[in-house]
Structure 1
Amino acid sequence: MEQTPSGRRLVVSRVVSAPAAVVWDVLVSVDDWTEWGPSVSAVRGVEGRIEAGSRGDVRVAGVWVPFTIEACDEYRWTWRVAGVPATGHRVTAVGVDRCEVAFEIPVAASPYAAVCAIALGRIERLATSNVRK
């Protein structure tokens, strides 16, 4: 549990051997969401990268659900999904070529931590393969 700008949240994180900027690009590129998000099968309404105020739909469990990006700056973004505050996403540099990537999960959604743990491994894979390119 941690106090975040969005309030008290369960935080799941992982240190990744990639620069913070590379990991951030994976998190904000909607083209990558289906690669790292186990529950996301498609995104529509946003092209390229998200920013504060971006609106679109995300397909989860076969259903299209609207989302709005509330904040997206300084290596942290938050959103509402179906009007409900959802996970926060952040990247913190821990050196030149390493960073911590974290999900801030609302307490009521704490079982979602298992999904986020899977996502962290996928984000690491994408980010480290992007470093090698």
Structure 2
Amino acid sequence: MKPLTTAVEIRAPAATAWELLIDTQRWPEWGPSVARVDCADRFIGPRTVGRVRTAFGLWLYFQVTQFTAGQYWHWRVAGIPATGHRVESFGPNLCRVLFEVPVLAAPYLLICRLGARRIKNILEEERYSA
């Protein structure tokens, strides 16, 4: 079954968006459901594992299950297939960040939409304040 998606276009380089998506120290800035991260890797890679503390206070283990550098990563949280994270470039200073959500987790698409908007705000604010 094809996942549900939400996306946002951002006036920033794709590489900058990608770095934000894989930086575990910055996940709480843009991830509405992530309060903290406990991970040996600051920047995730193909076999990264760790724990996230949810907004509800629960610690859940995660594992990155798919990883294509600069483009896409997917993870399992608490052993369950979770969101996919994708960056698409449309030029030197324009990209799209896209989240994929399994159909069975359709309500979570609203949380991902909020996360995508936060990413847009963070990156465009950083760009204009630099």
Q: Same fold (TM over 0.5)?
A: yes
- Aligned match of 1:106 in 93, 102, 108? 102
Partner of 2:49: 55
Partner of 2:65: 70
Partner of 2:127: 131
Q: CA deviation at 1:128?
A: 2.0
**Aligned 8 A contact 1:76 1:88 in 2:** yes
**Aligned 8 A contact 1:26 1:126 in 2:** no
**1 or 2, which has the higher strand percentage?**
1
Within 5 Å, give how 1:3-22 maps onto structure 2: 8-22=2-16
Q: How many correspondences in the alignment?
A: 127
Partner of 1:4: none
Runs of 4+, deviation exceeding 4 Å: none
Identity of aligned residues (%): 38
Q: TM-score normalized by structure 1?
A: 0.90
Q: CA deviation at 1:110?
A: 0.6
Moved more, 42-51 or 103-112: 42-51
- Aligned match of 2:40 in 39, 46, 69? 46
Gaps spanning 5+ residues in structure 2: where? none
Q: Deviations over 1:16-63 (max 9, x none)?
A: 111100000110000110000001000002332000110000011100
